[in-house]
Amino acid sequence: MTYDYVVVGGGTAGSLIAGKLAEAGATVLVLEAGGSDRNPLIQMPAGFVKLLGVEKYMWFYQSTVQQRLGGRQPVVPTGRVVGGGSSVNAMVYIRGQATDYDAWVEATDDTGWSWPELLKRFKAMEGNNRFNNDLHGVEGPMAVSDPVHLCELSRAYVMAAQAAGIPFTPDFNGPRQAGTGFVQMNTKDGRRVSAADAFLHPARKTGRLEVLTGSLVHRILTANGRATGVEYSRDGKVATAQAGREVVLCAGSIATPKVLMLSGIGPHFHLKETGIPTLVDLDGVGQNLQDHTEVPVLSFCNGPYGYFGQDRGWNQIRNGLQYLLFKTGPVASNGVEACSFFNPDDLSAEAKIQQFCVPSVYLEPGTTDLKPTWGLTINSCVLRPGSRGSVRLTSDDPRQQPLVDPNYFEDPEDLRLSIGGVRQARRILAQTPLKGMIDREIFPGPGKDSDEAIAEHAKKFVKTVYHPVGTARMGREDDPRAVVTPDLRVKGIDGLRVADASVMPTIISGNTNSTTLVIADKAVSFMLQR
């Protein structure tokens, strides 16, 4: 069957694009490798924690050996479900700093990617339950709301951060990002609102939208220099889908370059060694991988503070009933209710670190045999990492995972800023009222105060913040490293666009989901101009 558009990936970007195209009168097929998003745990804000380690809902990409991390191979997970990351993330609503987008204008020579222009789209899609001003909208389909539940550790963290010199801010998406406070989330009435909830599912009523889950796209089909459809497998059978207008890649910053290269679109030298004939020689495909990383400071509490044990026994029953009856309580929390943005070198300057307050003991599996208990984890994330990695194929078999090299700490500045984040976390832990709730620091641990000791800790425990971007970056037509043009068309082939986080030339300062939605919204505008 032929559709107007075939959208590869039903995640954050794919949900918006497919929904808006169908609402505009086009016929759309969405091919999503994962399954349905109708698991009740997805709808509960706290439920995603139970899904982060579940293969049914996540891709787990094993990174290549990271020499700067002592040979570690951290896992880079991404969403594998309708709604993608927006169905399994912590729902934190952050748009980055206005100056982030200056680099996008510089890369594209297109002021349409400037902050003032993108702000119009942020506002139009936003349905905020507190702010209604020049920076926020209230009538959009993407709900944004304050936390329904705040635990005592989150409150104590924000108060202690102020005592440590970080001023309180009521709005991380306000005139200035820097400050400490409570996050807003993509929730409404205590329930997650994913991109699928906001855009994809409402468009099903048009009768012009079809979503096929469990569909792994193998490659783009082409004829006479134009994308005509895709080949995919579903239920063990290989099939094709035809696109009368365009194929739109929205598979994310790891799978999108994989599909491009499997289709012969990528660096000729790499395609040749993988045995794939080159259709379009594009050096930038799979390059420019950027990701936010975080380094933890972990402490045990001296009492039953935070969320340890809230999902067990009587607590689980009580909390579950409270949520089902009133949509309140711990189940209505995203588990990351408070954070800070700051520059560890100068607290009065624009932020270079985003610090998350996690009211529990939270470390990556396999990094320690520490037993869970009441505790607090403060994670410091470098907002604009200088390190650049890559995505490469292992073979021409689409069922094989690609080689993901995040190249963490390639840029020494990333490590230096991480050390500064650890030091600021310790200063916060030493302030009232938080210090009265802390028993002792576990990691990095007592006596580990030198830059060298903290660097060793950072290399051992650094992890992804689940924000890979940049592997099919946009740029000027004459930029040899750009994969897509400013209107998101893949260079050298007609009828093919990329519209997900992989097109970001540089990562934004904060959680990437809302910016990915704006990229998708721009893509729809480009497609409907025809």
Q: pLDDT (tens digit, 9 = 90+) per residue, 228-237?
A: 999 999 999 9
Mean pLDDT of the chain: 96
From 136, 218, 292, 467, the catalytic residue: 467
Annotated active-site residue 270? The verdict is: no
Q: Which residue has the higher pLDDT, 316 or 490?
A: 490
CB 184 within 8 A of CB 93: yes
Half-sphere exposure of 480 (CA within 13 A, CB side): 3
How far apart CA 108 and CA 71 sit, in angstroms, is 37
How far apart CA 468 and CA 8 sit, in angstroms, is 18
Structure confidence at residue 367 (pLDDT):
59
Which residue, among 46, 51, 54, 1, has the nearest Cα to 28 in the 3D structure? 1
HEC per residue, 323-361: HHHHCCCHHHCCCCCEEEEECCCCCCCCCCEEEEEECCC
Model confidence at 309, pLDDT cuts 50, 70, 90, reads confident
How far apart CA 159 and CA 50 sit, in angstroms, is 29
**Is the pLDDT assigned to residue 248 strictly greater than 70?**
yes
Is the bond preceding 446 in cis, omega lying within 30 degrees of 0? Answer: no
Query: Range with the lowest mean pLDDT among 136-140, 313-317, 443-447?
Result: 313-317
CATH 3.30.70.100 fits 148-182+293-382+409-461, yes or no: no
Structure confidence at residue 365 (pLDDT):
61
Burial of 199 (0-12, 13-18, 19+ CB in 10 A): buried
Q: pLDDT (tens digit, 9 = 90+) per residue, 481-524?
A: 999 999 999 999 999 999 999 999 999 999 999 999 999 999 99
Give 441's strand partners. 299
Mean pLDDT computed over 58-66: 96
Structural tokens at position 291: 């990701």
Mean pLDDT computed over 433-451: 96
How far apart CA 9 and CA 82 sit, in angstroms, is 8
Query: Which helix or strand (DSSP H or E) is residue 75 part of?
Result: strand 75-79
Share of the chain above pLDDT 90, in %: 94
Model confidence at 1, pLDDT cuts 50, 70, 90, reads confident
Residues 6+ apart with CB under 8 A from 154: 182, 337, 338, 357, 359
How far apart CA 187 and CA 324 sit, in angstroms, is 16
Mean pLDDT computed over 34-53: 94
Model confidence at 293, pLDDT cuts 50, 70, 90, reads very high
Residue 334 CA from chain centroid, whole number: 15
Q: pLDDT (tens digit, 9 = 90+) per residue, 458-471?
A: 999 999 999 999 99
Mean pLDDT computed over 87-97: 98
Mean pLDDT computed over 448-456: 97
Structure confidence at residue 31 (pLDDT):
98
Structure confidence at residue 372 (pLDDT):
75
Mean pLDDT computed over 2-14: 98
How far apart CA 404 and CA 64 sit, in angstroms, is 6
Mean pLDDT computed over 100-128: 98
Residues 6+ apart with CB under 8 A from 129: 138, 143, 144, 145, 146, 188
Structure confidence at residue 364 (pLDDT):
63
Residues 6+ apart with CB under 8 A from 489: 496, 497, 526
How far apart CA 346 and CA 320 sit, in angstroms, is 43
Structure confidence at residue 368 (pLDDT):
66
CB 180 within 8 A of CB 340: yes
How far apart CA 225 and CA 217 sit, in angstroms, is 20
Query: Range with the lowest mean pLDDT among 154-158, 320-324, 459-463, 502-506?
Result: 320-324
Model confidence at 108, pLDDT cuts 50, 70, 90, reads very high
Structure confidence at residue 373 (pLDDT):
84
Which ranges constitute the DSSP H helices of 170-267? 195, 201-203, 252-262
Torsion, Cα of 10, 13, 18, 24 (10° steps) = 170
Structure confidence at residue 209 (pLDDT):
98
Task: Give me the DSSP letters along 209-229.
Answer: EEEESSEEEEEEEEETTEEEE
User: What does the domain layout of the chain look like in residue ranges?
Assistant: 148-182+293-382+409-461
